[in-house]
Amino acid sequence: MTLLLPIPAVSTPRPGAPRTSTRAHTGARFVVRQAALLATAVAVYFAVRSLTSGSAEAAEHNAGLLVDLERSLGVFVERDLQQLVLGLDGVIPVVNAIYIYGHWPVIAVVLGWLGWRRREAFLVYRNALLISGLVGMLIVASFPVAPPRLMDLGFIDTVTLHSEAYRVLQPPSLTNQYAAMPSFHVGWDLLVGIALVCEGTRSWMRVVGYALPLLMLVSVVSTGNHYLVDAVVGDVIVLASLRLATWHHRNRDRKRVGGPAPARPAVAAPGQGPDRQGVRAAA
């Protein structure tokens, strides 16, 4: 399906615009400020998640509800997928690496690039990240869910069994192990994937953008960390947040210029995202 998120075009540079050195200095300050803001937001996100950890009994009960839902829909395939991956030589280290390094490091790099090269687009994706994170914290606090690896369903915790990196980078004492719902490993990788598809200036960037959320989906399921429904909910929250952030961006610009909202633009060509005419991303 196609997601169209109209965004007003960025104003063209005015005569007498700052020189390159001045723009670079201003851009560096902008990136530093935004990095501090996002670092604070991430710290709050993890602090709230760790402080709102539900009981094991409630988390396992809710996980059972999700499993029953998937079975009723005929989509409880997580265990079969993990067994398939376990039977393939050399695949487990790959899916573990995607799960560990394909999330926060990728998000940081893509947002940093957007902040430096596509400032208006960065603001949209930043706001979508913050909005979705707030919604996610509310869900985690009210609906704890145990991941498949902690349920008696025949899953294996491949990340812990075959790698120590993730538990070192994100110690269990600082995390909520009952925060499987929603999966922002998948949702936020979808968000940065959309950014790469819409803002990328090179073909390989768009290819990575399309592949990233799909690879993460396979990874979170085959490592026993999430159910399919976790990924679906994570994607829905992120897409709704991106839509809201887009509306806010357009409405802010409309008020700033004091005129009517611009007409709905045509679908953007590759490389023309929020800082051009519109957004078109495969979700």
Tokens of 124: 């949209």
**Rounded to two decimals, what is the model's pTM?**
0.79
pLDDT (tens digit per residue) in 122-155: 999 999 999 999 999 999 999 999 999 999 999 9
Q: Is 200 exposed, middle or buried (0-12, 13-18, 19+ CB in 10 A)?
A: buried
| Dist CA 236 CA 191 (whole Å) | 11
Tokens of 18: 């700052």
pLDDT (tens digit per residue) in 150-174: 999 999 988 887 666 565 555 555 6
Q: How many residues does the chain have?
A: 283
Question: Scanning the structure block, which residue is given the tokens 């990196």?
Answer: 165
User: What mean pLDDT comes out for the span 74-80?
Assistant: 95
**Hey, what amino acid is at 47?**
A
**Hey, what amino acid is at 204?**
W
Backbone angles phi, psi at 282, to 5 degrees: -80, 125
| Dist CA 182 CA 190 (whole Å) | 13
pLDDT (tens digit per residue) in 43-57: 888 777 777 777 889
Q: Is 224 left (phi over 0), alpha (psi -120 to 50) or beta?
A: left
User: What mean pLDDT comes out for the span 13-22?
Assistant: 51
- Work out the percent of the chain whose per-residue pLDDT is above 90: 55
Q: Is the pLDDT of residue 197 over 90?
A: yes
